Structure 1
Amino acid sequence: MAKGNFAPALADVLVHEGGYTADPRDPGNWTGGKRGAGVLKGTKKGISAAAFPHLDIKALNDNQIAEIYRARYWVKIRGDELPAGVDLSTFDYGVNSGVSRSAKDLQRVLQVAVDGIVGPATILAAKSADPRATIKAHCGRRMSFLKSLAIWNTFGKGWSRRVANVEAKALSWVSSKAQLEADAKAARDKAVAQGSGAAVGTGGGIGVDQAPDLAGLPVWVIVAIVAAVVIPLVIRTIVNAQRAQALASVAKEA
């Protein structure tokens, strides 16, 4: 299947990239890559003036856009050689955060030398591994990276929804309906458990056995401790709820 996957993989990527925008507040829309610098040409289906200053962004047609994605991302990740599903997770991650970063996280999952270049060793390891496990682990590493970014609080919910949808779509290429339904249930069960943990943290403190340790501490310290416990649980709840929804959707279509 991998040889013919560029078209469906690109279609899935473009779902998340949107149409034409020319918001002057967005540095990506300027040829100089900085707000107010160069010429305001905008971004179309993920092709930005900052990355392609020589192009007439608004006038790009679908064929031109496809060729840019093929040359700049698909060929570099060797998409035609990666297993089905793994090609999509690597492609979309590369488009969103850079080919090298996507390749490095794939190599970490496959436990091969990490150099950010998809070469013969990476391809061989990918073909030898369970594609479902590779996809899940690769998307998991992608989420860890996104959570580490300073702007996670602003864009995190949209990013995690994108990763959930990509993971589900990639898994749908290599999974049975029963497997997808089981994946959706597992994600849903995790979301419920994590949501319950967050509720306990906000409603009843951190735990009865820990209450004496908090006695006498300033209120702001207690709030910070509770937040440190609860916020990660809330984030995990949202992420797994999104995963469950995406997986249930592809299972329904399978």
Structure 2
Amino acid sequence: MDANFPIIAKGTQLREGGYSAARDDGGNWTGGKACDGRFVGSCFGISATAMAHWLGPGRPVTVKIMKSVTPDVFLAIARAFYWRPLNGPLLPSGLDLITFDFGFNAGVARAAKMLQGLLGVAQDGDIGPLTLAAVAAREKAGALPALIDAFANGQRAYYRALSGFPTYGDGWLARVDWRLHAGLALARGETKIPLA
């Protein structure tokens, strides 16, 4: 639901933090992998490659640009590159949050395909009419909370399988817990969700 975007994005921004310069994080390199391209860092979870795409051809990403990302720029990029491609405006409250934040953190296609797998529709990575119809059927049947819970379980399994889990796993799982609790709060119609 589009009206949820500002509060959902605020929760994501808080979890991503400000400027990051970890050299082993591929998101901090313009080539998208550690030691590939220029090392410029990331900010609010906006990767170097996402910033390059945002700036367009002929405007190289620099450390100065990454350090100067404002909350407004974060919101614009998050809306354009994650919220809209995941069809956040058409997802019901709660499912929009858990889909968007996972997509922001793990990739749009991965989030879309995982949701589609849970719904039993083709996993093409595009949350289009068939996926939305399957979501609507679950919502009509009162099964939206169960879908959100299953999505959280799938996300936990995804993170546990990553090589970085021993280092970052506690944070990843805490983020899934936030997605689950905040998403269920939105699904219940609560107007305030936990941001921390």
TM-score, normalisation: structure 1: 0.64
Partner of 1:67: 76
Stretches of structure 1 that go unaligned for 5 or more consecutive residues are 178-248
* Structure 1 position 151, deviation (Å): 2.1
RMSD: 2.1
SS in structure 1 of the partner of residue 90 of structure 2: coil
Matched, 1:132 2:145: yes
Closer, same or farther in 2 for the Cα pair 1:176/1:116, shift >3 Å? closer
Closer, same or farther in 2 for the Cα pair 1:136/1:58, shift >3 Å? same
* 1:43-88 per-position Cα deviation (integer Å, ceiling 9, x unaligned): 1100122443444211222222111111110001100100100001
Partner of 1:16: 15
Partner of 2:181: 168
State the number of aligned residues.
Answer: 178
Distance 1:35 1:106 in 2: 29
* Structure 1 position 156, deviation (Å): 1.2
Closer, same or farther in 2 for the Cα pair 1:5/1:58, shift >3 Å? same
Distance 1:15 1:162 in 2: 11
Partner of 1:80: 89
Closer, same or farther in 2 for the Cα pair 1:100/1:25, shift >3 Å? closer
Please tell me whether the aligned partners of residues 86 and 127 of structure 2 are also in contact (alpha carbons under 8 angstroms): yes
Distance 1:114 1:120 in 2: 13
Distance 2:150 2:136 in 1: 15
AA aligned to 1:102 is: A
Distance 1:175 1:135 in 2: 12
Stretches of structure 2 that go unaligned for 5 or more consecutive residues are 53-59
Matched, 1:44 2:38: no
Partner of 1:113: 122
AA aligned to 1:171 is: L
Closer, same or farther in 2 for the Cα pair 1:50/1:175, shift >3 Å? same
AA aligned to 1:166 is: R
Partner of 1:30: 29
Partner of 1:245: none
Greater helix fraction, Structure 1 or Structure 2: 1
Please tell me whether the aligned partners of residues 27 and 50 of structure 1 are also in contact (alpha carbons under 8 angstroms): no
Choose which of 154, 158, 167 in structure 1 pairs with 2:171: 158
* Structure 1 position 39, deviation (Å): 3.3
The structure, 1 or 2, with the larger RCO (C-alpha pairs under 8 Å, 6+ apart) is 2
Choose which of 147, 157, 162 in structure 2 pairs with 1:144: 157
Please tell me whether the aligned partners of residues 92 and 187 of structure 2 are also in contact (alpha carbons under 8 angstroms): no
